């Protein structure tokens, strides 16, 4: 009797997973609610233009900054922080939380708890895709650009590019760790509005440790962080326009978590 019951529970859980995925896909494929702000704004476009010129401004000094910061002894104590930018620290917990919650029989849960679980599930799913998709975009850019790592600075220089070459050695631009920190910074800034400035500054600093560790040039870090952060905000605004995981509140730029006024 136990085996058929367990088998039935498994099939029921898989059915709920399928239904949840179908509902989610329908929601994101639907048009935005009337009056919703666009996911991409003119301000974002201007920010990208400014960052582009900032990269052009910093680029001639990439080699000098890389040599100086990677050999500056007072920074030895913070170089180990660079591994905080590994994406698996965030993707695995978000994935596990999402999988655990999606299989719950929501109909047998009290409404308040159901709303709370729904909020956690939505935000875990959002965090996973924000970090994963921005990371995929970064890896595509790495392959297309093929910039040599700083460890080749003395032989190839800071302006060595080998497009379409796979592998670690020619995957400097943009920085993957910095993209992750940009995405994480965006996620946390959305979750904890009062702490936005400290969160952004802290994640920027962690991204910068890639230069201290001589794994990336400063321009790699700027590009990676910008990509991760902007992608996350655009994704949140896209979802807010469909009232999935986020909604637009008082701010026309920063969307609020759905039901956040009750549980956060």
* Structural domains in the chain, sorted by start: 61-88+127-263 (1.20.144.10)
Is the pLDDT at 152 greater than 90? The verdict is yes
Contact at 8 Å (CB) between 87 and 228? no
- Per-residue pLDDT averaged across 2-19, rounded? 54
* Residue-level pLDDT at 3: 52
Rounded Cα–Cα distance for residues 248 and 39 (Å): 11
Q: Is 189 exposed, middle or buried (0-12, 13-18, 19+ CB in 10 A)?
A: buried
172-182 CB burial, b ≥16 within 10 A, e <16: bbbbbbbbbbb
- Per-residue pLDDT averaged across 191-211, rounded? 97
* Residue-level pLDDT at 129: 96
Q: Name residues whose C-beta falls within 8 Å of residue 65's C-beta, 6 or more positions apart in sequence.
A: 58, 211, 217, 218
**Given pLDDT bands bounded at 50, 70 and 90, which one contains residue 18?**
low
pLDDT digits (tens, 9 = 90+) for 44-96: 999 999 999 999 999 999 999 999 999 998 888 888 999 999 999 999 999 99
Q: 3-state SS string over 151-184?
A: HHCCCCCCCCECCCCCCCCCCCCCCHHHHHHHHH
Distances (CA, A) of 220 to 42, 51, 116, 149, 211: 24, 12, 39, 10, 9
Q: Which segments within the chain are labelled E, that is strand?
A: 246-247, 256-257
Q: Is 43 exposed, middle or buried (0-12, 13-18, 19+ CB in 10 A)?
A: exposed
pLDDT digits (tens, 9 = 90+) for 70-83: 999 888 888 899 99
Is the pLDDT at 16 greater than 60? The verdict is no
pLDDT digits (tens, 9 = 90+) for 104-130: 766 677 777 777 888 898 999 999 999
**Given pLDDT bands bounded at 50, 70 and 90, which one contains residue 6?**
low
- Per-residue pLDDT averaged across 194-210, rounded? 98
């Amino acid at each position: 009797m136990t085996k058929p019951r367990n088998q039935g529970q498994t099939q029921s859980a898989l059915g709920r997973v399928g239904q949840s995925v179908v509902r989610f896909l329908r929601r994101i494929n639907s048009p935005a609610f009337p009056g919703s702000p666009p996911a991409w704004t003119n301000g974002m476009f201007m920010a990208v233009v400014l960052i582009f010129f900032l990269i052009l401004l910093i680029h001639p000094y990439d080699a000098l900054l890389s040599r100086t910061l990677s050999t500056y002894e007072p920074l030895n104590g913070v170089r180990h922080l660079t591994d905080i930018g590994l994406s698996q620290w965030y993707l695995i917990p978000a994935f596990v939380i999402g999988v655990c919650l999606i299989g719950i029989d929501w109909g047998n849960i009290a409404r308040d708890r159901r709303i709370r679980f729904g909020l956690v599930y939505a935000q875990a799913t959002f965090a996973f895709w924000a970090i994963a998709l921005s990371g995929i975009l970064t890896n595509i850019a790495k392959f297309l650009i093929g910039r040599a790592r700083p460890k080749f600075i003395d032989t190839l220089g800071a302006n060595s590019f080998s497009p379409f070459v796979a592998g670690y050695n020619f995957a400097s631009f943009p920085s993957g760790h910095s993209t992750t920190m940009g995405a994480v910074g965006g996620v946390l800034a959305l979750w904890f509005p009062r702490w936005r400035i400290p969160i952004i500054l802290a994640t920027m600093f962690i991204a910068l440790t890639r230069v201290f560790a001589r794994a990336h040039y400063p321009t790699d870090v700027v590009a990676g962080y910008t990509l991760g952060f902007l992608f996350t905000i655009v994704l949140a605004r896209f979802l807010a326009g469909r009232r999935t995981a986020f909604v637009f509140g008082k701010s026309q730029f920063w969307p609020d978590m759905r039901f956040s006024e009750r549980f956060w």
